[in-house]
Amino acid sequence: MNRSVIDDISAISRINAVPAILQVISETTGLRFAAVARVTEDSWTACAVLDRINFGLQVGGELDVTTTLCHEIRASHQTIIINKASEDLRYCSHHTPKLYGFESYISAPVFRTDGSFFGTVCALDPLPAKLSEGSVLAMMESFAKLLAIQLEAEEHFEATEAALLDVQQTAELREQFIALLGHDLRNPLSSILSGAQLMMRRSKDASITGIAEHMLTATRRASRLVDDVLDFARGRLGNGIPLQSDECHELHITLTHIVSEMQSAHPQRAIEADIAPLGGVRCDADRLAQLLSNLLANALVHGSATGRVHVRAVIEKGHLLLSVNNQGEPIPADRLAQLFKPFWQEASNTQSGLGLGLYIANEIAMSHGGSMRVTSTAEAGTTFTFSMPTGAAIA
């Protein structure tokens, strides 16, 4: 297996929506084997597989491309649909259905956004099925386009990761690239989000709406990562985190809403809030909500799974104080200074993410004319505290 095919398998594996796509195809068509395949002149390689008939093909499995119909799809660039191969005038004598023992089959070509051929998204079953409806064809071709968009996004992310490996070289060029990349990723993410929302509105099948909800969750998480990358780039390029400051008379309501959202997302965790009325603070309420969300996410990931997380917000002596405390192992003193650096994560952390949450929280604090500090002891736990003058002149 050559290196480019291995890279393509890896890229497909990182697209969270792929398992959901294969499940939707299987549930909608009734075909019990579905796959995403990388197809070249010489090989057919499985990049993702849903197998409910023990077909025996796993991710990385290869077939002689000349024995498959994908060989013909690669040449014709056309979707193939077979309802019942044994009665199909074109395919009843074809070697592929006989070799692989299927009656029903559908396969749509996947083209990269530059127009080059990647492979196919396909499904088959030993039993016949009714696949000729226009909605099935439209669904398969829509998923093929969606995969192409996501492949491009994954390749952009890979390029970004490679560029960030050498922090000391071409720093300004790298960060400008990230900023442009973040903008470019918004369009494909919006397309995925719209498609999932459309599935939820049009389908009454609970299994399909559940899959659509999973796709929405994954896409929203990807959008948050893009926002983090953009905020990182702005901060590193010297422009700072952009703010829309105003007199915020209901800041406590905004912060309470963030606590409620995080509690809903983590029902097994205990989050306590002590948020006083915070009228008259001049700030960007949305950015402070983002700051609190980042601090809470950090506390839930790194704090004790059984300990409570406590949020406190109050105005004291002309300053807004916002703190998040979690229980758990104390952070060694020599690591405290590293926490607000970009891409820094605890070595034991297996959670996905870019390691930008605390860095962005600190950038938001500084943009408000405030500061972040952290303390960590075995007795009191770990506490991150944001402080800013209530009437600070905000840039």
Higher pLDDT, 182 or 335: 335
The token pair that represents 152 in the structure block: 């491009």
Domain termination residue (choose one: 113, 133, 153): 133
Whether 170 is in a domain gets the answer: no
Q: Is residue 200 assigned to a domain?
A: no
The CATH number of whichever domain residue 53 belongs to comes to: 3.30.450.40
What is the mean pLDDT of the segment spanning 103-132? Answer: 93
Position 234 pLDDT exceeds 60: yes
Q: Which of 79-93, 230-244, 368-382 has the lowest mean pLDDT?
A: 230-244
Number of domains in the chain: 2
- Integer angstrom CA distances of residue 136 from 71, 122, 233, 268: 22, 12, 42, 40
The residue among 105, 133, 161 that closes a domain is 133
CA separation for the pair 345, 328 (Å, rounded): 16
Q: Which residues of 230-258 are buried (b: 16+ CB within 10 A; e: fewer)?
A: bbbbbbbeeeebebebeebeebbebbbeb
Sheet architecture: strand order including 271-275: 271-275, 309-316, 319-326, 381-389, 371-377
For residue 64, is it within any domain? yes
208 assigned to some structural domain: no
Question: How does pLDDT run across 280-320, given as a tens digit for each residue?
Answer: 889 999 899 999 999 999 999 889 999 999 999 999 989 99
**What is the pLDDT at residue 113?**
83
In this predicted model, what pLDDT tens digit does every residue of 51-75 receive, in sequence order?
Answer: 999 999 999 999 999 999 988 898 8
Neighbours of 364 (CB within 10 A): 27
Q: Is residue 180 included in any domain, yes or no?
A: no
Does 346 score more than 70 pLDDT? no
Q: How many CA atoms lie within 13 A of 160 on its CB side?
A: 24
255 and 377 assigned to the same domain:
yes
Phi, psi of 12 (to 5 degrees): -65, -40
Q: Look at phi and psi of residue 355 and say left if phi exceeds 0, alpha if psi is from -120 to 50, else beta.
A: left
28-54 residues labelled b (16+ CB within 10 A) or e (exposed): bbebbbbbbbbbbeebbbbbbbbbeee
- Answer whether residue 25 shows pLDDT above 80: yes
Query: Is residue 237, in this structure, part of any structural domain at all?
Result: no
Is residue 224 in some structural domain?
no
Range of the domain at 17: 3-133
We report the CATH number of the domain holding residue 345 as 3.30.565.10
Q: Residue with structure tokens 């995403």?
A: 36
Does residue 368 form part of some domain? Answer: yes
d(CA 318, CA 320): 7
Given 104, 133, 162, which residue is the final one in a domain? 133
